[in-house]
Structure 1
């Protein structure tokens, strides 16, 4: 089959325009149809990337224009034509995220799903993309970072031609352009590169290499304990460092990340900051996806239909379990200690139990509704939905602890992940692609462990009951208790509302049955005074700390341009996190606890 040939060049950085061309050697003679994806795998929301195509023209082999028309929101078709066709089009790139395309004088970045049109009927054709250097002396030091294999004659990190076996592979390798810091390490025989774009000073790349090597090797050993063979020959961590940002998106041999530049490690400062720990957790999360969702997939994603939503009720398994293992692999690899891991786990538990949406929506329903609820959250989200990330990670914890207890430590959730890998993931890109059906999941857990997990599936996955984490942790010598911030001898009272960042005290969300809701306050209201004292976006907690829970206060607030006066009876302190403590440091529970935390 003839290769589809693409060329992409940063045409005008000031205008944020890429110019893309693609040539089809053997198009459909009756009229060739082209389509741009409407979403990107890993981010479950219709994003309509075609809206960023500014101009589009079609040409024959002689360079003469041929007719092309847009047939729907994301597709174009040429008039009947015999012979090669070339499309040439411009793409606007001004999305500084991990999902689409961005171009300015400092950084270029794109995901193939937002810039490369698919050729209908030729999805399995090999693809060659020529990534060209932008014109101008200011771009003289720009390089290319991608996990796409280089074509003959192209040097790694150089401009030139790159290859993909098909369209799915082409759009699963994001590309970073520009000047960047570069690090590298070997993890069980596989090369891993670190690319840091953006303005970062005193970056401790060596520390980043050492820490990520430990995390990557721990994950490789989890899935392949005997061979320790990585699923890829080369992997690339690509990060854009900004003043304020956080996010990641998984790909089959790389990940695109965005982080606060202050979160990156600094030379000469060996302490583990909260920001750096967060960044390592993000890297760990996306790397775990190399197995879990990029190769082990739900049946609904094998293959992806990028023209519309792909519904599955299994995101709790693919995102939630990944969220469990991301921090667990940090402690197992020794990058963080047990105390730090318990703090992260306690924060997750508090986050789940704080929202009343967990009592109304199951994680299976949350997974299915990701397209219209989780990725489109409004001010009532905490009262209406549950996160398949956060609660999914606690369900993974519940499965893991239950399996270990029932089997006296002989089996664990690791065995489930390994069976999923062996049966569905290891050979996924070798022509044996099949995703797991939703009806197969529970039986696979039983096969892998021999444990009775029906109650967790019933109550945790398909029900809305809170997980019995305190009882599950007890055999491991760990206690669980609410952590309430205190003011003197009494807990600080709460309005039960979340406030937006800013000078004004604007309510971003009001929790169900809270003091604020009972007082008639709503999201969007601007609090201006409590008992006659001015409220700002920064002093609300200070004002509330003067009262005891149950105290009544008078609140003045604006809703739109109307002043409202109401009375509120303050709630008990909110529990934002839980504390996990080791109660049995030397007893019979110690070996079980160490096997869990040490892998």
Structure 2
């Protein structure tokens, strides 16, 4: 065995040496900011060994962690190409985001201007204070090179000019040069150039290996504020580590939080392999710590669930179109569940805070038409339209879509309580099983794989098959009332006996320009009303303007609610409304609000048993030893 081992080792060494000799030279991006005040960057791509024949250049149409398409190609201009000796080349635009260079030398340079003025997890934002770079939105790439072998290097100019530092998961090669081992890693590496503040610490895995966690925040806060927030993030980090039993092995031994905080930001949170890009809409961190922490908790959980426990449908990620997955109820939904649970275990939330979070999850599956009609798998596939998808025309999502975040979160809640009550197991045990079977091995999964792992954990294949058939592939819903009662939590109607019109804020919160028509004379309905609600059953929908209710003039939702305040469910109210077809009268039959709330037995005036309190404490208490 020893001789065989040495032979294999020698063979591997010579293979690696041969590969090193033949590996292509890195692609090289030089990015400068001579016009940052006007949100522009100048980018030069050097292709040291161009492919034979045509060079196919591409701007991305999708981004890691985002599932809908985005047209990044619209933000580049002044595109030029030339051989390295300066000879101009003909570059032809063949599609909105795709270009070709037919005749060229062995080495080629491509230059262009990039406009970026949208700071979130998807786009690029540039001004004199920072350059917030999401790679697919920033860098044109060569489509017909070997993306798996080709190293990519970046040189960031003008750092001293603006007083910027570099925050990124890219490998620091020295000075202002950074690298990615391949195309996929490059596109998964957001970079923040700014005068950000840093807090960092080490976390030790059970095997004794230490890894560094970096918190970088671009905000107006002083360093002590960032240090204090870092302690909060650190507490959250070790609580999530306890779920899986270990941190992932981060490339280069580091994980970096990139956080940009400013009131005019777009707001976002986007997971990446060894970092996360968080964009907060706040004036500063100080005073907003708890509100910001939820995004950190959710995105850090993705370091396991999504970036390593990875759906096969997203591997490898395709940057030329929307990436559709039926597994987002697990990838995003289970992460949603844990993001809030971790804050409870870390003592940032009190139990009453967490019951309000749970109420949102349960209402999402018990009180939305989408969840009633469609399974979690189908709602996951809707992500190609709903995940920050851009459109002009109105949609009917309120009646045919339930977010896979909350849908999956509610499924995770039910499975956690079911495992605890029936198998003396927990959802933590299940996540660790999936981690060891899939994520740690970087073996992409399918839904049958997730079912198999549940069967293995519970030693009950029949249960696993039943759970997936009913709640994942099917539209049945768990008995949340009975499951929550195990923890001394009560599921009940939020407004029992109160008359309800059924009008959603989404039905009256109009798009720019829509609400001005007739807004002064009545309540404009600018979005779809919800199937089954009193207002829907009365025939009122988008485009209608409610004029009176029960003889009272209606100008907004407040006056509408006042008009029915003394009514009871079952009472009938005459409504007059107008639309482009003329004036109309209809009868609206009031109903009881269908919304649920979750409260502790104690808050409801009931005494939980010792067993119920023990169940709750086991579920919600810290797991850090």
TM-score, scaled to structure 2: 0.84
Residues 1:346 and 2:373 aligned together: no
Structure 2 CA distance, aligned partners of 1:148 and 1:197? 18
Structure 1 CA distance, aligned partners of 2:314 and 2:540? 42
Mapped contact 2:364–2:371 kept (Cα < 8 A):
no
Report what 1:91 is aligned to: 114
Q: Say if 1:525 and 1:581 are closer, same or farther in 2 by CA, change over 3 A.
A: farther
* 422, 433, 436: which one aligns with 1:422: 436
Mapped contact 1:55–1:89 kept (Cα < 8 A):
yes
In structure 2, runs of 5+ residues without a counterpart are 1-22, 205-209
Q: Say if 1:165 and 1:374 are closer, same or farther in 2 by CA, change over 3 A.
A: closer
Q: Say if 1:28 and 1:374 are closer, same or farther in 2 by CA, change over 3 A.
A: closer
Q: Say if 1:537 and 1:515 are closer, same or farther in 2 by CA, change over 3 A.
A: closer
Residues 1:146 and 2:168 aligned together: yes
Structure 2 CA distance, aligned partners of 1:581 and 1:509? 37
Report what 1:272 is aligned to: none
Report what 1:121 is aligned to: 145
Report what 1:319 is aligned to: 332
Q: Say if 1:496 and 1:406 are closer, same or farther in 2 by CA, change over 3 A.
A: same
Structure 1 CA distance, aligned partners of 2:216 and 2:581? 49
Mapped contact 2:29–2:43 kept (Cα < 8 A):
yes
State how 1:352-371 maps to structure 2 within 5 Å.
Answer: 352-371=365-384
* 269, 275, 295: which one aligns with 1:254: 275
Query: How far off its partner does 1:544 sit?
Result: 3.9
State how 1:182-331 maps to structure 2 within 5 Å.
Answer: 182-188=198-204, 189-198=210-219, 204-225=225-246, 231=250, 233-243=253-263, 246-261=267-282, 264-266=285-287, 276-331=289-344
Q: Deviations over 1:161-180 (max 9, x none)?
A: 11111111112111123333
Structure 2 CA distance, aligned partners of 1:351 and 1:82? 58
Q: Deviations over 1:118-158 (max 9, x none)?
A: 222231211110111279xxx53333322222112x2xxxx
Residues 1:385 and 2:392 aligned together: no
Query: How far off its partner does 1:537 sit?
Result: 5.6
Q: Deviations over 1:75-112 (max 9, x none)?
A: 22212333111110112212232201112233321111
Query: How far off its partner does 1:576 sit?
Result: 5.6
Query: How far off its partner does 1:113 sit?
Result: 0.8
Structure 1 CA distance, aligned partners of 2:543 and 2:290? 33
Mapped contact 1:470–1:479 kept (Cα < 8 A):
yes
Q: Say if 1:261 and 1:310 are closer, same or farther in 2 by CA, change over 3 A.
A: closer
Query: How far off its partner does 1:255 sit?
Result: 1.4
Structure 2 CA distance, aligned partners of 1:92 and 1:31? 27
Residues 1:449 and 2:458 aligned together: yes
Residues 1:469 and 2:493 aligned together: no
Structure 1 CA distance, aligned partners of 2:202 and 2:163? 26
Structure 2 CA distance, aligned partners of 1:512 and 1:374? 23
Secondary structure of 1:365's partner?
helix
Q: Deviations over 1:20-57 (max 9, x none)?
A: 11111111121222222210121110112112222211
Secondary structure of 1:467's partner?
coil
Report what 1:32 is aligned to: 55
Mapped contact 2:68–2:386 kept (Cα < 8 A):
no
Mapped contact 2:370–2:400 kept (Cα < 8 A):
yes
Report what 2:599 is aligned to: 579
Structure of greater Rg: 2
Q: Say if 1:14 and 1:542 are closer, same or farther in 2 by CA, change over 3 A.
A: farther
Q: Deviations over 1:368-390 (max 9, x none)?
A: 23213565595521211222110
Secondary structure of 2:610's partner?
coil
Structure 2 CA distance, aligned partners of 1:561 and 1:174? 51
Q: Say if 1:491 and 1:458 are closer, same or farther in 2 by CA, change over 3 A.
A: same
Report what 2:449 is aligned to: 440
Secondary structure of 2:198's partner?
strand
Q: Say if 1:285 and 1:572 are closer, same or farther in 2 by CA, change over 3 A.
A: same
Secondary structure of 2:383's partner?
coil
Secondary structure of 2:173's partner?
coil
Mapped contact 1:360–1:385 kept (Cα < 8 A):
no
Residues 1:412 and 2:426 aligned together: yes
Secondary structure of 1:316's partner?
helix
Report what 2:544 is aligned to: 525
Q: Say if 1:555 and 1:134 are closer, same or farther in 2 by CA, change over 3 A.
A: farther
Residues 1:506 and 2:524 aligned together: yes
Secondary structure of 1:476's partner?
coil
Report what 1:157 is aligned to: none
Secondary structure of 1:291's partner?
coil
Tell me which protein shows more helix as a share of its residues. 2
Structure 2 CA distance, aligned partners of 1:315 and 1:455? 20
Q: Deviations over 1:199-249 (max 9, x none)?
A: 568983243112111111111222235xx6664522222223343754211
Report what 1:431 is aligned to: none
Mapped contact 2:119–2:267 kept (Cα < 8 A):
no
Secondary structure of 2:38's partner?
coil
Structure 1 CA distance, aligned partners of 2:41 and 2:560? 47
TM-score, scaled to structure 1: 0.87
